[in-house]
A and B are shown apart, each in its own frame.
Chain A
Amino acid sequence: MGAAVLSVSGLSKTFPGVRALDGVDFTARAGEVHALIGENGAGKSTLIKVLTGVYRPDPAAEPGTGVITYDGSQVEFATPLAAQHAGISTIYQEVNLVPLMSVARNLFLGREPRGRLGLIDFRRMHREAEQALGGLGVRVDVRRPLRELGVGAQQMVALARAVAVDARVVIMDEPTSSLEPREVATLFGVIRMLRARGIAVLYVSHRLDELYEVCDTVTVLRDGRSVHSGPIAALDRLRLVSLMLGRDVGDVREEGLTKFSGSHDTEAQPILEAQDLTVRHQLRGVSLAIRPGEVVGLGGLLGSGRSETAKAIAGALPPDSGRVVVAGVPVRTGSTPAAIRAGVSLLPEDRKAEGIVPGLSVRENIALAALPGLSRFGLVDEARIDRVVDTFMKRLRIKASGPHQKVGELSGGNQQKVLLARWLAMNPKVLLLDEPTRGIDVGAKAEVQKLIDELADDGLGVLLISSDVEELIEGSDRVVVLKDGAVVEELTGDAVTEDRLMRAIAAAPAAQATTAAPGGDDD
């Protein structure tokens, strides 16, 4: 194993009200591909941003901790540019190059070969660009603007640039999220080449198969702490997943920590069927069914396609193929109004940006979707709205100074209840709940969980997405497990356990390659 190039110990980073990193230890060595993994909010992005000079770490609590050591000496990068100059290159998901400039210009941006008179020597630049890309197995016309290239090729250019500037550390943030399998193979070839040259590669991804294929070591982050660091080969998939999710395999399951009751009646015909939903790079033929009075959990790691599935069903993400059938009637996909008319409502993951309308009152927010039904000839029936709002504010126990308080001023839990009220006012058949309890306090969380239970008892079909494994297992009657945008397993009855869930998530890819994109003949 090579020498340590970049390491941190006891690193912390606090934002107002949030401790994003809490004493993280981490070491990247020369000639090593190091996987950095963790669920949403684990602190990966923050760590990368601290390493590359975007954020400053918190001042050390005690000497020798909270520092970044690069190449044997303690450093602090003031700006991303400083980190880049020192030899730390970052390749983001969205390539941050200049799309209108030629490939060669991008490759040599800021260090163009100069001829006499200080003018750019284009001939030399093009020749060297071709060589550099050729070395990575990429053959493109380097005179063409970068934007004409595919995403994969653009990423290669970014990589080539990183290599060409003599980077010693290359950080890749989900580099494969929008690549075709063939491009992934090329990328891995390049990564191995970088490793052979003694470069330390920091690889962030949610795709377990890729991690095992290309990485040497792994650091697992959870809740801002580094919970494990070591060779990836020594860690089986199940163990890796359990580390990420913070649940131990074989743990005795303690009942009753959540407010969910037992199971619901699941005999009836499905109220909603999603069939073969496919969205390029995001979903690969996802099918699932929800019966009235049933809570179906959607399991999987971050990036496995849970939110995308919910959005595709709700019409907020137009699928390339596949269909959604509600109560036996096909619904036009890609149209939120159509889905809502059919009785399908989505509580989005990003409550603040996509859920509430912060400047409007509680009353207006609750009435928002149901407005046409609460109006006559385009005129709003205020009395009816008052009745509906009053009913739901009482039923969901929404705590606000009154119906006219701005929603933006409410607590997270009450905002979530307002959103639930908005949908319940529509008498939906199916509710899609994407992280309904995230970011709300314990008391409100229990209330929302109880509410979900009650709704299912009332005969609603519920799709529940939650990163909280406990909530998912206890709240769901069935769990559909997603991985890399495809359904890998469905847990029913007694199989709905944390153990089985983690095993399903960690399952080896053997079956997957063949089942990939079942409806994908359009591709």
Chain B
Amino acid sequence: MKPNIFLRRTSGRSSGRVPATTLLAVGLVASLALTTGCAKSEDDGADSGDSKSAAEDDAGQVVSSPGAGGKTCGHGDYGAKKLDLKSATVGFSQSEKEANPFRIAETASIKAEAEKRGVKLLTANAQSQFSKQISDVQDLIAKGADLLVIAPLNSDGWEPVLRQAKAKHIPIVTIDRKINAAACKDYVSFIGSDFVEQGRRAADRMIEATGGKGEIAILLGAAGNNVTTDRTKGFQERIEDKAPDLKVVFKQTGEFAREKGQQVTEQLIQSKPGIDGIYAENDEMGLGAVGALKGAGKKAGEVKIVTIDGTKNAVRGIVDGWIDGVIESNPRFGPLAFKTLDTFTKGGEVAQDIVIKDSAYTKDNAKSDLGKAY
């Protein structure tokens, strides 16, 4: 009645080789990593010329809504001490791994500005883990940061950090995403883009490119993301307002990824060969759409494409004639962030919500401004 006793015993025995095989597995991974030592990438060196950090040769950001009418924040309100930014230590907490052009440019811009101003900068990267970001910021505080610049991964869950910063009177500026807390009380200012406005401007470009008539498609970003919602909202509102003859006939997600953008566009041009324009909510999907159009034998310019972000690849797409407009989502927060901190620590008033001005790339400026793209 208990035949599996043997089984259990015998299988229990087979674990004797654990160390050997663990070693094997570890060795495999290690050797795989080592082999990259002799890797030879396709265009090593060839690309470095134009990928020279764009943050340096760009003046950075311009405030698009300079506090007029908006609330401001001063020393007294926040309860911080006056200090000289030059001798202060600034802590910067990045939310995501610098694996996409936006994050790379963002971090580079902060670093470049700190260097320019001669400010001591501490940096940390949360690798898309919120718990890590919290401990990152706490570390920065512990290491003696007098001021904090945070690119938050989430909007919620910041209370413990804010309380800690408050106790030490550390001013905080958040960039690119907002946190759910009281401005000028829990943090000083938020500097970011207006995604709805980006959508509106993309719509303007689309109307101009198509002449305000025809059928267009939207490649949505990842579902449940406020960037997706805002960029869709702004775009659709503006189209309905200004060009009622421009019909959105297709709305599918490309999940902000090039491959998905390509696949969805392929389906699109099969079922609706007469499509006039494609609005991609980020550059990557737009580039995927370009790939799909090329694969289907379309010519450059046959389908108008407008995208948002302003990466180098997309701007080059304008130069090549495949893309008609790229609305920039400016990642270069460095100059503005430090300017804000500078004003604030000197005792001046700064706006609580600072919306940066995003530029745009069209046929007219794409070639000349390619260096500005990130």
Asked if A and B touch directly (CB within 8 angstroms), the answer is yes
Determine if B1 and A41 form an interchain contact, defined as CB atoms under 8 angstroms apart.
yes
Q: How far, in angstroms, from A129 to B305 measured CA to CA in the complex?
A: 76
Determine if B2 and A350 form an interchain contact, defined as CB atoms under 8 angstroms apart.
no
For B6, the chain A residues whose CB sits under 8 A away are 307-308, 311, 317
Determine if A350 and B3 form an interchain contact, defined as CB atoms under 8 angstroms apart.
yes
| Interface set, chain B 1-26, CB cutoff 8 A to A | 1-6, 9-10, 13
| Interface set, chain A 273-320, CB cutoff 8 A to B | 282, 307-308, 311, 316-318
For B1, the chain A residues whose CB sits under 8 A away are 40-41, 44-45
Determine if B3 and A93 form an interchain contact, defined as CB atoms under 8 angstroms apart.
no
Determine if A93 and B13 form an interchain contact, defined as CB atoms under 8 angstroms apart.
no
For A317, the chain B residues whose CB sits under 8 A away are 6, 9-10
Determine if B5 and A93 form an interchain contact, defined as CB atoms under 8 angstroms apart.
yes
Determine if A282 and B9 form an interchain contact, defined as CB atoms under 8 angstroms apart.
yes
Shortest CB-to-CB span from A33 to chain B, Å, is 22
Nearest to B5 among chain A residues (CB) is A93
Determine if A318 and B3 form an interchain contact, defined as CB atoms under 8 angstroms apart.
no
Q: How far, in angstroms, from A93 to B9 measured CA to CA in the complex?
A: 13
For A308, the chain B residues whose CB sits under 8 A away are 6
Q: How far, in angstroms, from A282 to B9 measured CA to CA in the complex?
A: 10
For A311, the chain B residues whose CB sits under 8 A away are 6, 10
Q: How many residues of B contact A (CB 8 A)?
A: 9
Contact pattern, A 31-64, Cβ under 8 Å of B = 1, otherwise 0 = 0000000001100110000000000000000000
For B5, the chain A residues whose CB sits under 8 A away are 93
Nearest to A44 among chain B residues (CB) is B1
For A44, the chain B residues whose CB sits under 8 A away are 1
Q: How far, in angstroms, from A93 to B8 measured CA to CA in the complex?
A: 13
Nearest to A46 among chain B residues (CB) is B1
Determine if A93 and B10 form an interchain contact, defined as CB atoms under 8 angstroms apart.
no
How extensive is the interface on chain A, given as a class? 10 to 19
- Residue among B6, B9, B10 with the most chain A CB within 10 A? B6
Shortest CB-to-CB span from B263 to chain A, Å, is 37
For A45, the chain B residues whose CB sits under 8 A away are 1-2
For B9, the chain A residues whose CB sits under 8 A away are 282, 317
In the complex, whether A349 has a CB less than 8 A from a CB of chain B is yes
| Interface set, chain B 68-110, CB cutoff 8 A to A | none
In the complex, whether A511 has a CB less than 8 A from a CB of chain B is no
Shortest CB-to-CB span from A178 to chain B, Å, is 9
In the complex, whether A117 has a CB less than 8 A from a CB of chain B is no
Q: How far, in angstroms, from A44 to B1 measured CA to CA in the complex?
A: 9
In the complex, whether A353 has a CB less than 8 A from a CB of chain B is yes
Pick from A93, A282, A316, A353: contact of B2, CB below 8 A. A93
Nearest to A317 among chain B residues (CB) is B10
For A353, the chain B residues whose CB sits under 8 A away are 3-4
For B4, the chain A residues whose CB sits under 8 A away are 353
Give chain A's interface secondary structure class.
Answer: loop
Shortest CB-to-CB span from A315 to chain B, Å, is 10
| Interface set, chain A 329-362, CB cutoff 8 A to B | 349-350, 353
Determine if A349 and B10 form an interchain contact, defined as CB atoms under 8 angstroms apart.
no
Shortest CB-to-CB span from A518 to chain B, Å, is 22
Q: How far, in angstroms, from A126 to B1 measured CA to CA in the complex?
A: 38
Determine if B13 and A318 form an interchain contact, defined as CB atoms under 8 angstroms apart.
yes
Determine if A349 and B13 form an interchain contact, defined as CB atoms under 8 angstroms apart.
no
Shortest CB-to-CB span from A334 to chain B, Å, is 8
Q: How far, in angstroms, from A282 to B5 measured CA to CA in the complex?
A: 11
Determine if B2 and A349 form an interchain contact, defined as CB atoms under 8 angstroms apart.
no
Q: How far, in angstroms, from A12 to B6 measured CA to CA in the complex?
A: 30
Nearest to A352 among chain B residues (CB) is B3
Determine if B2 and A318 form an interchain contact, defined as CB atoms under 8 angstroms apart.
no
Q: How far, in angstroms, from A505 to B277 measured CA to CA in the complex?
A: 91
Q: How far, in angstroms, from A45 to B6 measured CA to CA in the complex?
A: 18
Determine if B10 and A316 form an interchain contact, defined as CB atoms under 8 angstroms apart.
yes
| Interface set, chain A 83-131, CB cutoff 8 A to B | 93
Shortest CB-to-CB span from A221 to chain B, Å, is 12
Pick from A40, A41, A318, A350: contact of B10, CB below 8 A. A318
For B10, the chain A residues whose CB sits under 8 A away are 311, 316-318
Q: How far, in angstroms, from A515 to B237 measured CA to CA in the complex?
A: 94
Contact pattern, B 124-165, Cβ under 8 Å of A = 1, otherwise 0 = 000000000000000000000000000000000000000000
Nearest to B10 among chain A residues (CB) is A317
Q: How far, in angstroms, from A282 to B10 measured CA to CA in the complex?
A: 12
Q: How far, in angstroms, from A307 to B9 measured CA to CA in the complex?
A: 13
Q: How far, in angstroms, from A307 to B1 measured CA to CA in the complex?
A: 13
Shortest CB-to-CB span from B145 to chain A, Å, is 42
| Interface set, chain B 161-183, CB cutoff 8 A to A | none
Q: How far, in angstroms, from A93 to B3 measured CA to CA in the complex?
A: 13
For A41, the chain B residues whose CB sits under 8 A away are 1
Shortest CB-to-CB span from B253 to chain A, Å, is 41
Nearest to A349 among chain B residues (CB) is B3
For B3, the chain A residues whose CB sits under 8 A away are 349-350, 353
Q: How far, in angstroms, from A350 to B10 measured CA to CA in the complex?
A: 15
Shortest CB-to-CB span from A171 to chain B, Å, is 15
For A93, the chain B residues whose CB sits under 8 A away are 2, 5
For A40, the chain B residues whose CB sits under 8 A away are 1
Q: How far, in angstroms, from A311 to B7 measured CA to CA in the complex?
A: 11
Q: How far, in angstroms, from A353 to B7 measured CA to CA in the complex?
A: 11
For B13, the chain A residues whose CB sits under 8 A away are 318
Q: How far, in angstroms, from A311 to B11 measured CA to CA in the complex?
A: 13
Q: How far, in angstroms, from A335 to B248 measured CA to CA in the complex?
A: 68
Shortest CB-to-CB span from B15 to chain A, Å, is 12
Contact pattern, A 54-80, Cβ under 8 Å of B = 1, otherwise 0 = 000000000000000000000000000
Shortest CB-to-CB span from B210 to chain A, Å, is 60
Q: How far, in angstroms, from A366 to B1 measured CA to CA in the complex?
A: 28
Nearest to A307 among chain B residues (CB) is B6
For B2, the chain A residues whose CB sits under 8 A away are 45, 93
Nearest to B13 among chain A residues (CB) is A318
Shortest CB-to-CB span from B18 to chain A, Å, is 16
Q: How far, in angstroms, from A307 to B13 measured CA to CA in the complex?
A: 18
Nearest to A174 among chain B residues (CB) is B2
Q: How far, in angstroms, from A93 to B1 measured CA to CA in the complex?
A: 13
Q: How far, in angstroms, from A161 to B78 measured CA to CA in the complex?
A: 63
Q: How far, in angstroms, from A41 to B5 measured CA to CA in the complex?
A: 16
Contact pattern, B 354-372, Cβ under 8 Å of A = 1, otherwise 0 = 0000000000000000000
Q: How far, in angstroms, from A490 to B190 measured CA to CA in the complex?
A: 91
For A350, the chain B residues whose CB sits under 8 A away are 3
For A282, the chain B residues whose CB sits under 8 A away are 9
Shortest CB-to-CB span from A13 to chain B, Å, is 13
Q: How far, in angstroms, from A307 to B6 measured CA to CA in the complex?
A: 9
Q: How far, in angstroms, from A40 to B3 measured CA to CA in the complex?
A: 10
Shortest CB-to-CB span from B35 to chain A, Å, is 29
Shortest CB-to-CB span from B332 to chain A, Å, is 53
Q: How far, in angstroms, from A308 to B9 measured CA to CA in the complex?
A: 11
Q: How far, in angstroms, from A220 to B273 measured CA to CA in the complex?
A: 85
| Interface set, chain B 37-51, CB cutoff 8 A to A | none
Q: How far, in angstroms, from A91 to B1 measured CA to CA in the complex?
A: 17
Q: How far, in angstroms, from A291 to B5 measured CA to CA in the complex?
A: 31
| Interface set, chain A 13-44, CB cutoff 8 A to B | 40-41, 44
Q: How far, in angstroms, from A307 to B5 measured CA to CA in the complex?
A: 11
Q: How far, in angstroms, from A93 to B6 measured CA to CA in the complex?
A: 13
Question: Can you sample 22 A-B contacts with CB below 8 Å?
Answer: A40-B1, A41-B1, A44-B1, A45-B1, A45-B2, A93-B2, A93-B5, A282-B9, A307-B6, A308-B6, A311-B6, A311-B10, A316-B10, A317-B6, A317-B9, A317-B10, A318-B10, A318-B13, A349-B3, A350-B3, A353-B3, A353-B4
Seen from chain B, the residues whose Cβ lies within 8 Å of a Cβ on chain A are 1-6, 9-10, 13
Q: Which 4 A-B pairs have the closest CB atoms?
A: A45-B1, A350-B3, A317-B10, A318-B13
Q: Beyond A93-B5, A317-B6: 12 further Cβ-contacts under 8 Å?
A: A40-B1, A45-B1, A45-B2, A93-B2, A282-B9, A311-B10, A316-B10, A317-B9, A318-B10, A349-B3, A353-B3, A353-B4
